[in-house]
């Protein structure tokens, strides 16, 4: 997709997008027929406009256009990208599909306790299950990455019950790409 085609897609959706880089900044127009246009949606859209642009990108891909999406918003990459290259300090540190990258760090276990006094015993249970200290994610909520698979929610709830923890919510979930990035770059997991 060449730049003017992207502009037409944006205009057709009646959405205003501030383009942070021009084609000249990226080395000029791509070769005709190449079907490649570096592009980033950015943060200048309301949720409706962002969704419309995402739909347009999906339509272009379905029509056979290759789109090179550059973004620091990993939820955007999760929704739009078939393949992702994670870059840290100018180096590619991981590549794969969103699911492949998420699988590298394992699923997450989130536990919300009914009473804050249950945080310490809940953390002990989660540490025993996961082999690592859980992080505190909010008032009364713990989260931990689970190694491998084979964890059943019923077994986790039983272990919490044995420890006297009254859980308001217990859930297994896939990690976010933000969590993947933080793990790959060895930073504390504090983004949700």
pLDDT at 1 over 90: no
- Centre a 10 Å sphere on the Cβ of residue 66 and count the other Cβ atoms it contains: 13
SS3 for 148? coil
Separation between Cα atoms, residue 38 and residue 52, nearest integer Å = 18
- Class assignment of domain 106-174? alpha beta
Give the residue, 12 or 24, on which the prediction is more confident.
Answer: 12
User: In this predicted model, what pLDDT tens digit does every residue of 66-117 receive, in sequence order?
Assistant: 888 888 889 989 999 999 999 998 999 999 999 999 988 888 999 999 999 9
SS3 for 138? strand
Residue ranges matching CATH 3.30.70.100 in the chain: 106-174
Give the residue, 31 or 163, on which the prediction is more confident.
Answer: 163
24-30 own/partner pairs: CB under 8 Å, 24+ apart: 29/2, 29/3, 30/2
Give the residue, 49 or 148, on which the prediction is more confident.
Answer: 49
SS3 for 151? coil
pLDDT at 165 over 50: yes
> Confidence band (pLDDT; 50, 70, 90) for 121?
very high
User: In this predicted model, what pLDDT tens digit does every residue of 47-76 receive, in sequence order?
Assistant: 888 888 889 889 988 999 888 888 888 998
pLDDT at 177 over 80: yes
User: Residue 127's closest CA among 149, 104, 111, 105?
Assistant: 111
């Amino acid at each position: 997709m060449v730049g003017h085609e992207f502009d037409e897609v944006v205009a057709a959706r009646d959405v205003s997008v501030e383009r942070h880089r021009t084609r000249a900044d990226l080395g000029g127009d791509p070769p005709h027929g190449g079907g490649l246009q570096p592009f980033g949606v950015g943060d200048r859209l309301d949720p409706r406009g962002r969704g419309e642009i995402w739909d347009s990108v999906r339509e272009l891909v379905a029509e056979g256009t290759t789109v090179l999406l550059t973004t620091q918003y990993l939820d955007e990459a999760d929704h739009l990208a078939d393949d992702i290259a994670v870059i840290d300090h100018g180096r590619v540190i991981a590549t794969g599909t969103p699911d492949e990258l998420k699988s590298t760090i394992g699923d997450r276990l989130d536990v919300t306790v009914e009473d804050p006094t249950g945080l310490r015993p809940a953390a002990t249970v989660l540490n025993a299950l996961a082999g690592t200290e859980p992080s505190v994610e909010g008032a009364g909520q713990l989260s931990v990455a689970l190694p491998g698979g084979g964890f059943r929610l019923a077994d986790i709830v039983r272990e919490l019950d044995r420890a006297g923890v009254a859980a308001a919510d217990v859930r297994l979930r896939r990690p976010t790409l933000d969590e993947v990035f933080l793990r790959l770059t060895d930073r504390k997991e504090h983004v949700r």
